[in-house]
């Protein structure tokens, strides 16, 4: 029995969708209120300012990413952990992509680099290092781990922006995310040993099966 979501929840969902589709500053509080089916003034009751909404969504994203990190290390093997981490991360970054895309519109007083973003980069770097330690990488090809990490990060991070820019899509679907994962792995693959390739590919298929679910609309 699905209950009618709370007003606060409806505001956040409407805001997230609109921010993703139109950008932060092009979205008015009234539009959010309309989409949530309530009166403009009532948004104020739940969130005093427009940035309060952003902050709440940012917090949701941060929490989701933190949760992922916890889940990630639940005793599965490394390939699975890596793939799961990337896929879940892409999903969250897709759902909340405006947080990163419009970061410079939030009138950040100081030029704070987004904490979640940085943490995410670190997580990826840690996983790549463990891949190296567990000898996933070919010996015949000298790899610059730092550079590779960054390239992998970029592909994962900007994939949803790319889909939106390039294909004119407003909503990023689960299929889009899966395609993004394949691209990501495509960048990683040539560096891997044959065995590692198989392990990663198998893990990817497994993760895609396991995680398949609708994006939060």
Partner DNA sequence: ACTGCCGGGACGTCCCGTTCGT
Partner DNA sequence: ACGAACGGGACGTCCCGGCAGT
In sequence order, which residues have a C-beta less than 8 Å from that of residue 190 and are 6 or more positions away? 141
Options 9, 45, 113, 210; binder of DNA; rule CB under 7 A: 45
Among 7, 151, 193, 215, binds a second copy (CB under 8 A): 151
- Select from 158, 193, 206, 208 the one that contacts a second copy (CB under 8 A): 158
Query: Can you tell me which residue has the tokens 């990023």?
Result: 172
Instruction: Give the residue, chosen from 17, 50, 58, 92, that forms a contact with DNA under the rule CB under 7 A.
Output: 50
Spatial separation of the C-alpha atoms in residues 85 and 97, rounded to whole Å: 17
Q: Which residues contact 150 (CB under 8 A, 6 or more apart)?
A: 121
- x/- mask, a second copy, residues 168-207, rule CB under 8 A, reads x-------------xx--xx--xx----------------
Q: How far is the CB of 90 from DNA (least distance, A)?
A: 29
User: Which of 9, 28, 146, 170 forms a contact with DNA (CB under 7 A)?
Assistant: 28
**Is 109 a binder of a second copy (CB under 8 A)?**
no
- What is the per-residue burial (b if ≥16 Cβ within 10 Å, else e) of 85-94? bbbbbbbbbb
Residue pair 152/124 in contact (Cβ under 8 Å)? The answer is: yes
| Spatial separation of the C-alpha atoms in residues 106 and 87, rounded to whole Å | 27
Rounded Cα distance between 135 and 121, Å, is 21
C-beta of residue 91 within 8 angstroms of C-beta of residue 178: no
Greatest Cα pair distance in the chain = 64
- Asked if 46 touches DNA (CB under 7 A), the answer is yes
Question: Site for DNA (CB under 7 A): which residue of 9, 40, 126, 182?
Answer: 40
Residue 133 CB, nearest distance to a second copy (Å)? 20
Residues in contact with DNA by the rule CB under 7 A: 6-8, 27-30, 38-46, 48-51
> What are the residues binding a second copy (CB under 8 A)?
21-23, 25-26, 100-105, 107, 111-114, 117-118, 121, 141, 144, 147-148, 150-151, 154-155, 157-159, 161-162, 164-168, 182-183, 186-187, 190-191
């Amino acid at each position: 029995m699905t209950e009618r979501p709370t007003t606060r929840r409806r505001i956040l969902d409407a805001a997230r969708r609109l921010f993703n589709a139109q950008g932060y500053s092009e979205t008015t509080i009234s539009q959010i209120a309309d989409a949530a089916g309530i009166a403009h003034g009532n948004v104020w009751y739940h969130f005093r300012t427009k940035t309060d909404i952003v902050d709440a969504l940012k917090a949701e994203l941060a929490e989701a990413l933190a949760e992922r990190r916890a889940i990630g290390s639940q005793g599965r093997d490394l390939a699975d952990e890596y793939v799961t981490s990337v896929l879940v991360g892409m999903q969250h970054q897709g759902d909340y992509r405006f947080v990163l895309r419009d970061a410079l519109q939030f009138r950040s007083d100081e030029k704070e680099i987004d904490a979640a973003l940085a943490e995410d980069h670190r997580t990826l770097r840690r996983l790549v290092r463990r891949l190296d330690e567990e000898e996933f990488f070919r010996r015949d090809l000298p790899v610059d781990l730092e550079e590779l990490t960054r390239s992998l990060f970029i592909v994962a991070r900007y994939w949803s922006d790319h889909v939106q820019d390039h294909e004119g899509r407003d909503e990023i679907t689960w299929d889009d995310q899966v395609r993004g994962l394949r691209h990501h792995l495509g960048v990683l693959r040539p560096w891997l040993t044959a065995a590692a390739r198989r392990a990663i590919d198998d893990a990817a298929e497994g993760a895609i099966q396991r995680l398949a679910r609708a994006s939060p609309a």
